[in-house]
Chain A
């Protein structure tokens, strides 16, 4: 009862002290507000960046991809001669090993020269079954003109699992950048030339049915065409360079990879989860390190600032503390008083900081930051607009860090205040 009473008095004293030097309190609180706001914003931005790169890896390869080991070894060169033969049979076998709802599709990636009526350029061909393009790439969501391959809908063959590969359709969806370089519009014809797996040059005329903007500068140099058209062009009958697998839940990835690696149908081929993406593996630790450095940076600034202002507060009130000590206030009570005062600043500042941080995060989540030309120079594919991703854990963490840091940083000034000898302090 007595302790509660004492605590109430201490609380009132601490609250009163906050308003004694409003400028100093405001300065300390501003530091807490800024530290918490920037912590949260930096976390949201870095999460967005990680999500951006992860999304690219999944969009390029699904959750799991199966491919020839020699193709994997020289993937940058896209050696289509190192492919998967007997695709139909392997696809059926793979489907049986996967949980319900999993999608399986063949893909051929190949370099090509594209010729428009006037201009020509180099492009990266993505041959895929149109229904699968919907499920993996969600191509129709990114069509800015025209439509997706095969009308952009499941064409009745069953998404990813059927033979909806647009057989006989010489259609193409061009990435925005390719369309600009070739100066072509929907409805016009482009010619795609490529070397077959046996090295002979061949070409095919394709009608532009759509133009897509997937946000990634790399993806906008891609053109999508039906798998059967590419198989004919590249002399790859019933062959693909990769089999892509999309699962309903990321938790299914590890068991599915293990099951496929035991399966005889894909023996000798690589079974690669998207998390094995080398760039992703290299990038994620870097991003995490950057986040940690930023966290530490804001934390140190906050702690130094609060320690400084609280030290000033102690010095200003040295006589008062000495009198309180002479009147019988125990040392731990003095420490509690100072810590309560800084704790209040911490909690209030952190709350305001959260509001500011949430506002900045909201902007990042909804509007993003445009990278454009900067992103083009990066060795990884990064969307031209990076959208933030708010992590609820980061909201709680930022608040706790702000509040606790305020208390911790006031500890040394508080201890110093508690050690003041009343008689000596009176003489100062």
Chain B
């Protein structure tokens, strides 16, 4: 009987311990979310990315240049393919403008349009806008458990919106308990209906910060599509010019 107890204890420790990091164990749910925000939120960033959009049997690759400052300013420009080249977006707070070279015109994207697909991807414009905002400002959080995800120990967090008018009322998040990066995020409506899920991988270290360089997103509502974004070049906390987020850039 004693032998059996020892064997059971060993088996249990093999199964549980990898998912139970002592670094994460001492943290509360808010503190874990805070650590996630610390990784994801930067004073400024400049990113060169490639977005691969798969829709049925069609695969399109789009090259992008992205600049962010704080949670309210973002600028992005499509560099390829030819059809999208020169499309620019500028976000200031809750306002989003798009410049389209084919018509040489700047239009304001607002209201329900924000929830539509951004350039044919599984990201919506709103997803792009929300991504630079801190999670703690928008959600309350609880720890739901510990799991292994893709061979990595992770803490499962349940997030619930604490501000009104938010698209994804619930978020379930698997946070890497070593790097404090959300490995998987599931976005649901208030009813519990799954709307979108996202996976972060290829985590790199930039100074003291960990950041995923491969993001895969799937809009469940969009049939037969998936989007993968690979960050080719990432720079954090770099000084951006005074006119970096001026509407003058939208030409």
Contact = CB atoms under 8 A, between A and B. Distances in A.
A203 B105 contact: yes
B30 interface: no
B55 A198 contact: yes
B84 A200 contact: yes
A199 B121 contact: yes
Given A113-B107, A193-B107, A199 B100 contact: no
Interface SS of chain A: strand
B100 A115 contact: no
A296 interface: no
B58 to A, nearest CB: 7
A202 to B, nearest CB: 6
A204 B117 CA distance: 19
A201 B103 contact: no
Interface size range of chain B in the complex: 20 to 34
A148 B121 CA distance: 37
A196 B103 CA distance: 15
B86 to A, nearest CB: 12
B83 interface: yes
B199 to A, nearest CB: 20
Interface in B70-92: 83-84
A195 B116 contact: yes
Contact of A202 (B55, B100, B104, B116): B100
A202 B102 contact: yes
Contacts of B121: 199
Between B103, B104, B116, B225, the greatest number of chain A beta carbons within 10 A of the residue's beta carbon is seen for: B103
A205 B101 CA distance: 11
Contacts of B60: 198
Interface in B38-97: 53, 55, 58, 60, 83-84
Contact of B103 (A198, A199, A203, A235): A203
Given A113-B107, A193-B107, A198 B120 contact: yes
Between A191, A196, A201, the greatest number of chain B beta carbons within 10 A of the residue's beta carbon is seen for: A201
Contacts of A199: 55, 116-117, 119-121, 222, 225
Contacts of B104: 205
12 contacts: A115-B107, A191-B103, A198-B55, A199-B116, A199-B117, A199-B222, A200-B84, A200-B120, A202-B100, A202-B102, A203-B100, A235-B83
The 7 A-B residue pairs whose C-beta atoms are closest, nearest first, are: A200-B120, A199-B117, A199-B120, A203-B103, A191-B103, A198-B120, A203-B100
Interface of B: 53, 55, 58, 60, 83-84, 98, 100, 102-105, 107, 116-117, 119-121, 222, 225
Given A196-B120, A201-B100, A202-B100, 13 more contacts: A115-B107, A193-B107, A195-B116, A195-B117, A198-B55, A198-B60, A199-B119, A200-B117, A201-B98, A202-B83, A203-B103, A204-B103, A205-B104
